[in-house]
Structure 1
Amino acid sequence: MFRDLPRYPEMTVSQFWDAKVPSHWEVHPGLAVLAENRRKNDGLIESQVLSLSYGRVVVKPVEKQRGLVPDSYESYQILVPGDIVVRPTDLQNDQASIRVGHVKDRGIITSAYIGLRARGSWSDAYAYHYLAVVDSSKRIYGMGSGLRQQLGWPDLKRMPCLVPPPEEQAAIVRYLAHANARIDKAIVAKRRLIALLEEEKKAIADMLLGQLDEGAREVRHVLSQLVDCEHKTAPFVEGEPYWVLRTSSVKSGEIVWSGAYTTDAASYEVWTSRAVPEPGDVIFTREAPVGEAAVIPDGRRVALGQRTVLMKVRKEIMDPQFLVYQVYAGLPRRPISLATQGSTVGHFNMDDIGWMRVAVPDIEVQRQLVNKIEDANSDANEAIDKTQSEIALLHEFRTRLVADVVTGQVDVRSIVATLPDAPEATAELAADSDDEFGDLQEEGL
C-alpha cells in the first residue's frame, strides 16, 4: 500500500508548493472553494462546547470548562459536522501546534478561531486534508499579518488551492482513510507494548517500595522549598536554549522532551523569578494529570509551566530519584489515587502536596533501593526508548505521506481500486505527549 506509488505522468510547477503538481488539477483561490462560517450562537441555541486539541475537534467535558471562559457563550460560533476549524492566533510564538481540525460533532467553539466549510469544487474531507497539509508543511506561518502575525479569512481566501477532479478527491480521501488506519493500528500496538513495559516497571517498584514506611514524614519536611509554578503560557521561540516543562512533559517518572518547548531568555527570567529549577530538583504535576513526577536532569536550563510544582529536595536526607519512585509506588500513591477517583481531572493544592507522607530510610538505603530498581528496569527502559522512536518515525512517515498524496506527488488512483470499501477499524488514538503542544491549542477556551 505504501511502496512504489506511481507519479502522475504530466506535472506543472506550483510556486505555492515549491514543487510540481498534476497538470490536470485546477488551482483556485480559497474564496472559490471555502466559505467562512458565520453561524453565531445567538440566543444560546447550542450549549455543547467543542475544543481543538491535538488536531482533533472534540467535545469539551463540562468539568474542563474552566479558566479563561467567556461571560456568555453567545459570542461563540456554531460548527456542524464537515466544517473545518483553524486556530489562527499567535503564529510567531507557536510554530509547533496542530492548527487545523475536522468537525465531527455539532457544537460551539470560540470565535477567535476561523470556522470554514468546503464549497464549489472541494469536498469537505479533501478540504480538511489540504488545509492540514498547509499547516504541517509550515506554509501557514508565512500567511499571517499584524504585529502578532494573526491569520484571518482575508489570508485564506487568497490562498492558492489545488482542486483535483471530484473522483480523484474521493480516491485521495479513501486512500488516506486506509493508510491512516494502518498507521494508527501500528501506533496503538506500540503504545500497548510501552504500557506493558511500564506495568512491569511499576510491579518492580511496588515489590521494593510498596510496604516501605520507615521514618515516614510529610513531604514538606524533606524539601527546602515547595513552589507553585502557576503561570500563563510562555511564548514559544524556536531554537532557544530555555526549555518550558509542562504537565505533558512528565510521564511515568521521566521528562518527555517532546512535551516541552523552547522560549527566550527574557521569558525564562520571568518564569524562574520565584525559583530556578536546578538539576536534582523534582517536578510534580498537581493537575491535568495529577501525580506525575520526575527529576530535573543536568544539561538543560528549564522553567516550569502551568499546573506544575517545583520540589527542591534536601538531598542530605532524601534522594530525589527515591522520592520520584515513591510517588508511583510508595506512600504518596494512595492520596494521589484518591485525588483522581471519580474525576477525569483530579487536582492537588499545595497543602495536599506538602502533607503527603513519604518513607525516609537512611540515605544509603535509599540509594541502594534506587540502584536495584534502575538495574531491574534497564532492559524495559531500552525497549521503551526504541519503541518511542519507532512511534515518532511513524508520525513523520504519516505527515510526509499525507502531504505527498494531497499535493499530487504520487498517484493513488490505481491502488484505491483494490482497497475494500471501508478501512480496518482501529481504536481511536489517545492524545499523549507525542502530540506536541496540546495545552497551547486550548488558548482562550
Structure 2
Amino acid sequence: MIDGLKPYSDYKDSALPWLGKIPAHWTEKRAKYFYREVDERSTTGTEELLSVSHKTGVTPRPKHVTMFKAESNIGHKICRSEDLVINTMWAFMAALGVSRQVGVVSPSYGVYRPIRMGELHPQYIDRLLRIEAYKSEYLCRSTGIRASRLRLYPDEFLRIPILSPPPEEQSAIVRFLDHADRRIRRYIRAKRKLIELLNEQKQALIHQAVTRGLDPHIKLKPSGVKWIGDVPEHWEVQRCRYIFREVDKRSLDGSELHLSMSQKLGLVPSHQVDNRTLVSENYAGGKLCEVNDLVLNRLKAHLGVFSLARNDGVISPDYTVLRAIDICGVEYFEHLLKSPACRYELRVRAKGIVEGFWRLYTDDFYDIRLPVPPAEERNQIVARLAEIVADCEVVCTRADRECDLLREYRTRLIADVVTGKLDVREAAAQLDGQVVEEPSKRRSAKQPNKHFYRSVLAAEIVDRHQGERRFGRIKLQKALVLAEYHLQLTEIQSDLKRAAAGPFDNAMMRSIDAQLKKQKWFEAYKSEDAGYQYKPLKKRGSHQTYFDRYWSSKQADFDRLISLLKPMRTIQAEIVATLYSAWNDFLIDGEQFDDDRLVAEVLTNWHPKKERITRNRWHKAIQWMRDYELVPTGFGAHTQQATKKVKK
C-alpha cells in the first residue's frame, strides 16, 4: 500500500511547532483566510436536526435521542453542504466535521462556511482537522474554568493555521486515503470473520467431543435428552446431583486469597479483574473454594458466568460452590456446561420474580442431565480440548493484534499524508482509474435509494449465515428488523406490519430478493423442508465494499448482533423481533408498561398465531434481551396492523 511512497523533495518550516516541516509548495494560512463564521438561523425549524460527534462527524441526529433536545428547532443554526461545524465544548476531542447536507445544529455550535468554494476539499479538511496533533492545538486554544467547561471560541479557531496543498493534490490525497481505508477495512473485516469462524469451529469441536467423544466411528445410543442428542453407547447420562455436591464452608477471618468471577477470565484473584464494584472491606464469612471446585455466580450462571477454581480462596457468599464427586477429568464438565446447547438449558432453569435478578438455584442445577464418559475417557477429552482451545486462542490473539496494528497504522498514515510527510501524488495517479469528484460536482451526486441500502444489508446478513441450515427468508426479515432498529440504520426505512411471523415488510422482502439476484449476490429458492433460503451467486462478497462505506462505524455493534442471532432458531428470532418491535412501539408512544403488558400486547394486539407461543417463553425472552442488552430505544417508525383480515 505504501511501497514507493517517499517524502517530498523540498520542505519549509511550519508555523505550528508540533507540525515541523511541510512541503515547500503548500500554503499555510490561518483558518480565517479559508472560513468565515456564519450565524444563519432557522425560522421554521423544519430542517433536519444534525449532531456533531468526535466519532461520526456531522450526521443526522437519531430521532430517539431526546436528551437536551429543544421543544422547537426554530432559532437553531443552519449549516449547508461543505460547512465546517464544530461542537464548541468538545472541540478538544475533535468533535467537528464537514457537513454533507443542509440541516440545523445547536445554537452553541460554531458554523464556518468556506470563503471560496473548491479551495479546500471537504474530505481532506475533515481528515486534517481530526488528527491527534490538531486535537492538542484545540485544547491549547480552548478556555474554561475546568476541563468539562472548555470551549473553543470562533476567534481562537480562526487563528489556527491550516495546511492547504494545491486543489488537485488535495484530490489525490483524498483518493489515495479512500483507497487505503477501503483496503484496511477489508483486511480487518477478513480478520474478524476469521476469528468468528475459528470460534464457531472451536465450539463445534467442543460440542462434538463432550457429547460424542473422540472416536468418530463409535456406536451411539439415544440419550433421552433433547439438547444432548445421541451419545456413545458406553456412556451414562446422569443428573448433576449425582455428579456434584454443594459445599458451604465459610472463612473465619477472610484472610484467604480473595477470588472474583469474570465472564472473560473465569475465577481469578481479585487484583486481575478491572473495574470491580461492590468490593467488601472484610471477607470473613465468605465461602471457601478449593482447586477444581465448580463455582457459579447464581445471578449470572445462566449467562455462562461460572468457572472451575484454579486457586484455593474465599469468594462471595452468594456464589454456589459445587465439588465433583469424582474429581477425575472434572474440566470435561466445565466444557460441557459452557457449550451453547447447555447454556440454553441453564437459562431455562433460572428463576426469579424480580427483574434482572434471576438465579440458578442448586436444586434446579441438580436436575440438569449430563452425559458422563468413563473417567479415563474424560481425561482424554480434556487433553484434546486443551489443544483445540490453545490453537484457536493463538490464532485469534494474533488476528486481534493485527487488527489493532492496522487501526494504528491507518491513523498514522492519515496524519503523515495530510500533513505532507509522504507524497502520494504518483500512487494516487496509478489507482485503477478511480476518480475523486471535485467538491463542486459532488454536491449533485446521486445517493443510493433505500432499496439498494436494504439489499446491501441483507446480503451481509445472508453472507454471515451461509452454511446455517435453519436460516431462510423469515429469519432474514427478523435480522433486518433488529439491525435497522437496534443499530439505528436510518437508510432502511422499513414499513413493518404485525403479521403472523411479524414484524414483516413483504414489499421490502420482495424488493430485496430481486436486488440480491440482480446484483448476482444471492438468489432465493424454495427448499424442501425449510421454506425460502438463499444460495450464493458468482458475485457473492462484492457487496462488502458498499457495506463498509455505509456502516463501517456500526461494525462492532453489527458483529455483536449477528453473534446473538446466529445460534437462534427461526422461532426464537421471531420472538425476539416481535418483542423488540412491541416494546419499541410503547417507547414511541410514551406509554408506561411492564413485562405482563408487553406480553399481553403481542398476544392480543398482534396476530392470533402468536398465541402458539407460551407466556412463559415470552417472559424468558424479555429477560434474555435485558441480559444481552438487546433493548429498544424508541427509534424508527411504529409498526402497523396487517391490512389483510385473518381467516378463522
TM score, norm. by length of structure 1: 0.61
Residue 330 (structure 1) aligns with: 344
Residue 365 (structure 2) aligns with: 360
Residue 427 (structure 1) aligns with: 547
Distance of 2:136 and 2:306 partners within structure 1: 34
Distance of 2:125 and 2:187 partners within structure 1: 26
Residue 4 (structure 1) aligns with: 4
* Superposition deviation, residue 159 in structure 1: 0.2
Closer, same or farther: CA 281–41 of 1 in aligned 2, 3 Å: farther
**Structure 1 position 129 matched with structure 2 position 127:** yes
Distance of 1:201 and 1:41 partners within structure 2: 57
* Superposition deviation, residue 43 in structure 1: 2.3
* Superposition deviation, residue 166 in structure 1: 1.5
- The 3-state SS of whatever aligns with 1:161 is strand
Residue 218 (structure 1) aligns with: none
**Structure 1 position 23 matched with structure 2 position 37:** no
* Superposition deviation, residue 357 in structure 1: 5.7
- The 3-state SS of whatever aligns with 1:35 is strand
The CA deviation string for residues 271-313 of structure 1, in whole angstroms up to 9 with x for no partner, is 96xx3499x998x99xxxxx998799xxxxxxxxxxxxxxx78
- The 3-state SS of whatever aligns with 1:89 is helix
Whether contact under 8 Å (1:30, 1:156) holds in the other structure is: yes
Distance of 2:38 and 2:58 partners within structure 1: 16
Whether contact under 8 Å (2:188, 2:403) holds in the other structure is: yes
**Structure 1 position 36 matched with structure 2 position 156:** no
Distance of 2:104 and 2:296 partners within structure 1: 42
Closer, same or farther: CA 276–379 of 1 in aligned 2, 3 Å: same
* Superposition deviation, residue 397 in structure 1: 0.9
* Superposition deviation, residue 131 in structure 1: 0.7
Whether contact under 8 Å (2:10, 2:23) holds in the other structure is: yes
- The 3-state SS of whatever aligns with 2:320 is coil
Q: In the TM superposition, what are the counterparts of 1:25-424 in structure 2 within 5 Å? A: 25-50=26-51, 52=53, 54-63=55-64, 65-74=65-74, 76-89=76-89, 99-120=95-116, 121-133=119-131, 138-148=136-146, 149-201=150-202, 203=204, 211=227, 253=264, 275-276=278-279, 314-317=318-321, 325=338, 329-331=343-345, 351-355=354-358, 360-361=365-366, 375=386, 376-419=388-431, 420-422=433-435
* Superposition deviation, residue 158 in structure 1: 0.5
Greater CA radius of gyration, 1 or 2? 2
* Superposition deviation, residue 389 in structure 1: 1.0
- The Cα RMSD (Å) is 5.0
Distance of 2:338 and 2:401 partners within structure 1: 24
Q: Which amino acid is 1:23 matched to?
A: A
Q: Which amino acid is 2:127 matched to?
A: H
Distance of 2:409 and 2:33 partners within structure 1: 31
Percent identity, aligned pairs only?
25
* Superposition deviation, residue 330 in structure 1: 2.9
Q: Which amino acid is 1:421 matched to?
A: Q
The CA deviation string for residues 370-408 of structure 1, in whole angstroms up to 9 with x for no partner, is x89984533323322211111111111111111111111
Closer, same or farther: CA 47–427 of 1 in aligned 2, 3 Å: closer
Closer, same or farther: CA 48–68 of 1 in aligned 2, 3 Å: closer
- The 3-state SS of whatever aligns with 2:131 is helix
Whether contact under 8 Å (2:173, 2:418) holds in the other structure is: yes
Q: Which runs of 5+ in 2 are unaligned?
A: 212-225, 229-238, 242-261, 267-273, 282-294, 308-315, 324-333, 371-377, 437-541, 558-648
* Superposition deviation, residue 355 in structure 1: 3.1
* Superposition deviation, residue 331 in structure 1: 4.7
Distance of 2:103 and 2:206 partners within structure 1: 45
Distance of 2:133 and 2:347 partners within structure 1: 41
Distance of 1:60 and 1:332 partners within structure 2: 40
Q: Which runs of 5+ in 1 are unaligned?
A: 216-249, 256-262, 286-290, 297-311, 337-349, 435-445
Distance of 2:555 and 2:317 partners within structure 1: 29
* Superposition deviation, residue 47 in structure 1: 4.0
More contact order relative to length (CA 8 Å, sep ≥ 6)? 1
- The 3-state SS of whatever aligns with 1:352 is coil
Whether contact under 8 Å (1:59, 1:105) holds in the other structure is: no
Question: Between Structure 1 and Structure 2, how many residues are aligned?
Answer: 346
* Superposition deviation, residue 136 in structure 1: 6.6
Whether contact under 8 Å (2:349, 2:365) holds in the other structure is: no
* Superposition deviation, residue 145 in structure 1: 1.3
Closer, same or farther: CA 131–385 of 1 in aligned 2, 3 Å: same
Distance of 2:227 and 2:30 partners within structure 1: 67
Distance of 1:40 and 1:295 partners within structure 2: 57
Closer, same or farther: CA 139–384 of 1 in aligned 2, 3 Å: farther
The CA deviation string for residues 240-264 of structure 1, in whole angstroms up to 9 with x for no partner, is xxxxxxxxxx9x9579xxxxxxx9x
Distance of 1:151 and 1:84 partners within structure 2: 14
Closer, same or farther: CA 194–360 of 1 in aligned 2, 3 Å: same
Whether contact under 8 Å (1:136, 1:399) holds in the other structure is: no
- The 3-state SS of whatever aligns with 2:397 is helix
The CA deviation string for residues 71-111 of structure 1, in whole angstroms up to 9 with x for no partner, is 434464444443343334257xxx7x553334345444434
Closer, same or farther: CA 137–117 of 1 in aligned 2, 3 Å: same
Closer, same or farther: CA 49–55 of 1 in aligned 2, 3 Å: closer
Closer, same or farther: CA 184–432 of 1 in aligned 2, 3 Å: closer
Closer, same or farther: CA 73–190 of 1 in aligned 2, 3 Å: farther
The CA deviation string for residues 198-228 of structure 1, in whole angstroms up to 9 with x for no partner, is 434555677779949968xxxxxxxxxxxxx
Whether contact under 8 Å (1:185, 1:426) holds in the other structure is: no
Closer, same or farther: CA 167–198 of 1 in aligned 2, 3 Å: same
Distance of 2:397 and 2:52 partners within structure 1: 31
Distance of 2:346 and 2:113 partners within structure 1: 50
Closer, same or farther: CA 23–66 of 1 in aligned 2, 3 Å: same
